[in-house]
Amino acid sequence: MSRYLSLILVVFLLATTLACNAVTNATAGVTIPDPVVSSQLATAKGEQIAVFAGGCFWGVEAVFEHVKGVTEVTSGYTGGAAQTANYEAVSEGDTGHAEAVRITYDSSQISYEQLLKIFFSVAHDPTELNRQGPDTGTQYRSAIFYTDENQERIARAYIAQLDQAKVFKRPIVTQVVALDSYYKAEAYHQDYLAHHPNERYIVINDQPKVANLRNQFPELYK
């Protein structure tokens, strides 16, 4: 075998190994306990809104689109100004925006606590600061944007509970902040996984999240 062909083989094997490692990390999943602070704090019934940020919105959106009781999920931006709520500006990393998903759900079918459990266990890694997998920058930060006092209390209590139980090897870095404004992302970002299921990024980083949801929460998967 020539030196040139040997070099090609080495590069190929290295790329394959890195890809396999990425898949392994993405499919690892985490089993976590139910929140101690429960829905008894939440008095609102019927259609509710939750807004989460956990890296690239494609995968987070895909996860929650497969959750029973969720009626709509959209990808968008929150945390910055209206004039910078577009993909080109947000990708620069200095707009204050995070890539986020807006989840509309029926609280008679699924609780906010259950959404949080899915968010922390399969939708993303809450211990990664200003990044998620291969994506880096504050626009990929982990954050919960609460819409009322009950959501804030439940989210903060759950983070404290998980940290105290040392569920993760590192502390949770998820921000808990009030939702100001949410801006829906461009049309081509909506339902991205459904439209591009075989795209390499999706296969490595996002398909495993949906598989984890199905495996860890079969009673909630649709």
- Positive/negative CA dihedral, 151, 153, 154, 160: positive
* CA–CA gap between residue 183 and residue 25 (Å, rounded): 31
- Clarify whether 20 is annotated catalytic: no
Question: What's the chain's Rg over C-alpha atoms?
Answer: 18
Enclosing H/E stretch for 136: strand 135-136
Residue 155, classed as helix, strand or coil, is helix
DSSP secondary structure string for all residues of 162-174: HHHTT-SSS----
Residue in 56, 63, 143, 202 annotated catalytic: 56
Contact predicate 116/217, CB 8 Å: no
What distance in Å separates the CA atoms of residue 61 and residue 110, rounded to the nearest whole number?
Answer: 17
Q: In which element (H, E) is residue 61 found? A: helix 57-65
Tell me the catalytic residues.
56
